[in-house]
A = this chain, B = another copy of it.
């Protein structure tokens, strides 16, 4: 089963990668399954062997990307390190991930305002992001951050990173290290006591 899983993963990975890339380029509705098949060097039928529908594929892909994002954030904090420092790490690392994996960023940007993500997947995402929520919780408990609704904080946090990444991609603004620091600092200031 391990061997099989490898092979399976590889086909699935191929499909995931291709769809991510195509959606980043053209958008969800200009990415037909046939194109994913062609560019991914698999048959349409093969995609439907692994995923029940386009929706399901999109949801699976979304979950995949969210797991990556959460991992990036989690790797940015460590118990010993200063909370403010950790926050800025999170901000900057998430930003860098968005830039490095621009396909993933564009995909998330595009799928989020759609109705396509199921409630099940949304719930699963909440679980995945638990540790991040925990981080904010601790920051408040330790009286580093103001006592604000955590859900709101995390949303604002994500929104700030995304907005700067968007600027870099579409806004025609070259985001230098200085600008990056400014943005991260601003967002930190928004939350500290």
Chain A residues engaging chain B, CB cutoff 8 angstroms = 26-30, 106, 109-110, 112-115, 146, 148-149, 151-153, 155-156, 158-160, 162-164, 166-167, 171, 173, 175, 179, 182-183, 186-187, 189-191
Contact = CB atoms under 8 A, between A and B. Distances in A.
B151 A186 contact: no
B110 A113 contact: yes
8 contacts: A29-B29, A148-B179, A149-B179, A149-B182, A156-B160, A159-B159, A159-B160, A160-B160
A164 B171 contact: no
A182 B187 CA distance: 14
A143 to B, nearest CB: 16
Contacts of A190: 186-187, 189-190
Contacts of A28: 29
A110 B112 CA distance: 9
B27 A148 contact: no
Given A106-B113, A155-B163, 6 more contacts: A149-B179, A155-B166, A155-B171, A156-B183, A156-B186, A158-B163
A77 to B, nearest CB: 20
Given A115-B27, A159-B160, A182 B152 contact: yes
A179 B112 CA distance: 23
Contacts of A159: 156, 159-160, 162-163
Contact of A182 (B148, B162, B166): B148
Contacts of A160: 156, 159-160
A91 to B, nearest CB: 12
